[in-house]
Structure 1
Amino acid sequence: MILGLDIGGANTKAASADGSFVESMYLPLWKGCDLEGALEAIRRRAGTADAVGVTITGELADCYGSKKEGVERIAGEAKKVFPQAVFYGIDGEFHSDVSDYRLFSAANWSASARFIGAAHKNVILIDIGSTTTDIIPIVDGVPAARLTDFERLSRGELIYAGALRTSVAALLQKAELRGKAVRTSSELFALTGDVNLLLGNISEEDYTCDAPDGGPKSREGAALRMARVVCCDLEEMTVAEAVELARQAYRKQVDDLKDGIAEVAERHGLKGAVVCGMGDFIGRDALAEMGMPFTLASGIYGKHISRVFPAFAVARLLSASLERS
């Protein structure tokens, strides 16, 4: 088995190159979660791995004093469990160590884009996870995005909003309710997980991250959290009004995504997209409104692979690299 790992700040994902093994676990590194123990559990469940490719995205977690420290500590934990592990860099190569940490910082989008680029030479890859959205231009089969998150944020290639963990107040500063414009509270009262649960975009089981209030990940629980965004509860606000608030938050997220896609498409002259990630429905809705042709990765590889796409991509890239050598 050739195994791919995508170790993020909130989620750790694994997939085999043949797609027979897939796993994703909510593992917030900033809370001091046991990364080594989680990787050991993956190792046991996956079985013998002949080769392991790792991509790192958790280095920005604020349990680390710098990206360098984050990359080195995550790589160290991976090597304890998988001594054979090699690390994918934004140069498109695999490395036995992470001495030049800048090659490995937030490199998972590059693995996905290089894998997609082999089949779709000129396309936009849109990966919408629980936390962020990558909008990656692929030109002549090669990722054409800038190499740091800071640079990508400045060019519409990274939107720091996802399908679960984004604060509703970060998306929506003002809502229209009862015929009034109402400012929202900047407290962490509700997440996009609550939005998407209320709108039927995800199931209760899909809501894998912590709810802000630690309460139930149910429709009523989500409605209460949404009510708090405008300083209400469910005695002061109806569930129907909470759903309306969710619709407005979702509308804002779709519009923000459309702006990013349009910026990237115009810059590179790209006219189609491939969408993956657990929030692919957001990309689907944005692209449909834009009239841009798109392919859902879930339709090709299955929903389970789409949700862990960078892990799958790094496994496939490593497999191809080993075949060439």
Structure 2
Amino acid sequence: MKIAMDIGGANIKIFDGNEYKQYYFPLWKKKNKFMSFLWQLTEKTDLNADMYAITMTAELCDCFKDRREGVTFILNGLKEILHSNRIFVLSNDTNFKLLDLDDAMKFPYSVASANFVATARYISKFEKNALIIDIGSTTADIIPIKDGKILAHTTDFERLKNGELIYTGVLRTNLISISNKVKFKGKNLKISAEYFANTGDVYRVLGEISENEWTTETADGKGKSIIECMRRIARTVCCDVSEGEIYETSERKSKISKADVTQIAKYFRDEQIKTINRAVERLEKKYRIKNRLIIGAGKFLYDDLNASLKYEDLSAVKALYFLTMDLQI
């Protein structure tokens, strides 16, 4: 039996070939609870296997001084919990390489932020030319495949520079990082620079995700009902939501309607789609690729991005599992 694990900064994902599980764990806030959380996982999930394939992005969390420390911390934790000498870690080499634990510890930067490689390598088995658009809770990976070769750069820094990694996602992104203004009743209105709301609020208000699909926390730590999301979005323009009768003029000037909030949400949605689409178009033009494939938590944006849902159920951890089945290890 094999198990694949993707250790993200916000979510830990596990796949054993049959069952996919995802657990929210904000490592940057709970580093000192990582081991106890892993122990809890062993109680919730059967992690007994003959071989483990690991990938990660959590090493970038700012609870670590650098990625070397992050990779080492994560792998030491897994080593202690899994009690196995058959733990392999995905390299960010796009030719798809799995390093044993000792080599991964020795060369930590070679396994940092490598999960996109699994997705790209798996799809490249079936698609000779494609642009993979993988929109997650926090980021969007845009991965070009040309003539069966993965053309993406290998580090986050290089992918940022080349427009292959866009720091925008459908759950955790602070709205001001999408736009510092909104179009409100025909005027450009600057928004607050506070962290009052995120994209999860936008897509809840617009009915595109459910409470269960919002797997991360809210900006204020409160609930994920529509009205709570509206309150957070209204706060970005320093207002409250009008939820009943208004008796005072000063109160009226500090409140906006639910319809107004919905319009603000639509504005941020449109701006985020424009950001992703511009990046996709640049890579399409650069590599002359027209086959858009979308996966990830943001796959519901497929129509807006003119992308196919052909691999809609695929994720990095599933791709990693399927690829290991081809290896004799």
TM-score, normalised via structure 1 length: 0.91
How far the C-alpha of 1:256 sits from its partner, in A, is 0.6
How far the C-alpha of 1:47 sits from its partner, in A, is 4.7
Greater CA radius of gyration, 1 or 2?
2
Percent of pairs with identical residues = 34
- The code of the aligned residue for 1:285 comes to D
Call closer, same or farther: CA 1:311–1:38 in 2, change over 3 Å.
farther
Call closer, same or farther: CA 1:47–1:66 in 2, change over 3 Å.
closer
Cα shift readout 1:174-225 (whole Å, capped 9, x = no counterpart)? 1111232100111000000000001111001112211111222110000000
Q: Distance in 1 between matches of 2:37 and 2:88?
A: 18
Q: Distance in 1 between matches of 2:195 and 2:90?
A: 34
Q: Distance in 2 between matches of 1:159 and 1:89?
A: 21
1:244-255 to structure 2, matched below 5 A, reads: 244-255=263-274
How far the C-alpha of 1:40 sits from its partner, in A, is 3.6
Q: Residue 271 of structure 1 corresponds to which residue in structure 2?
A: 290
Match of 2:262 among 243, 248, 271: 243
Q: Residue 251 of structure 2 corresponds to which residue in structure 1?
A: none
- The code of the aligned residue for 1:28 comes to P
Q: Residue 190 of structure 2 corresponds to which residue in structure 1?
A: 183
Unaligned runs of 5+ in 1: none
Please say if residues 4 and 53 of structure 1, whose CA atoms lie closer than 8 Å, have aligned partners that are also in contact: yes
1:287 and 2:305 matched: yes
- The code of the aligned residue for 1:57 comes to T
Please say if residues 185 and 230 of structure 1, whose CA atoms lie closer than 8 Å, have aligned partners that are also in contact: yes
Larger mean Cα displacement after TM superposition, 28-37 or 176-185? 28-37
Task: Give SS of 2:217's match.
Answer: coil
Call closer, same or farther: CA 1:49–1:42 in 2, change over 3 Å.
farther
Q: Distance in 1 between matches of 2:4 and 2:42?
A: 11
Which structure has more relative contact order (CA 8 Å, sep 6+)? It is: 1
Q: Distance in 2 between matches of 1:296 and 1:64?
A: 38
Q: Residue 227 of structure 1 corresponds to which residue in structure 2?
A: 234
- The code of the aligned residue for 2:140 comes to T
Q: Distance in 2 between matches of 1:232 and 1:287?
A: 32
Q: Distance in 1 between matches of 2:298 and 2:79?
A: 31
Please say if residues 13 and 311 of structure 1, whose CA atoms lie closer than 8 Å, have aligned partners that are also in contact: yes
Match of 1:93 among 97, 104, 107: 97
TM-score, normalised via structure 2 length: 0.90
Q: Distance in 2 between matches of 1:43 and 1:111?
A: 25
Q: Distance in 2 between matches of 1:189 and 1:80?
A: 39
Q: Distance in 2 between matches of 1:221 and 1:254?
A: 24
How far the C-alpha of 1:11 sits from its partner, in A, is 0.8
Please say if residues 273 and 305 of structure 2, whose CA atoms lie closer than 8 Å, have aligned partners that are also in contact: no
Please say if residues 257 and 286 of structure 1, whose CA atoms lie closer than 8 Å, have aligned partners that are also in contact: no
1:315 and 2:313 matched: no
Q: Distance in 1 between matches of 2:152 and 2:73?
A: 26
Q: Residue 248 of structure 2 corresponds to which residue in structure 1?
A: none
Q: Distance in 1 between matches of 2:38 and 2:205?
A: 33
Q: Distance in 2 between matches of 1:238 and 1:11?
A: 35
How far the C-alpha of 1:68 sits from its partner, in A, is 0.8
Pairs aligned (count):
308
Q: Residue 21 of structure 2 corresponds to which residue in structure 1?
A: 23
Task: Give SS of 1:243's match.
Answer: helix
Q: Distance in 2 between matches of 1:106 and 1:139?
A: 22
Q: Distance in 2 between matches of 1:260 and 1:41?
A: 40
Unaligned runs of 5+ in 2: 243-254
Please say if residues 139 and 169 of structure 2, whose CA atoms lie closer than 8 Å, have aligned partners that are also in contact: yes
Match of 1:297 among 303, 311, 316: 311
Task: Give SS of 1:127's match.
Answer: strand
Q: Distance in 2 between matches of 1:85 and 1:219?
A: 43
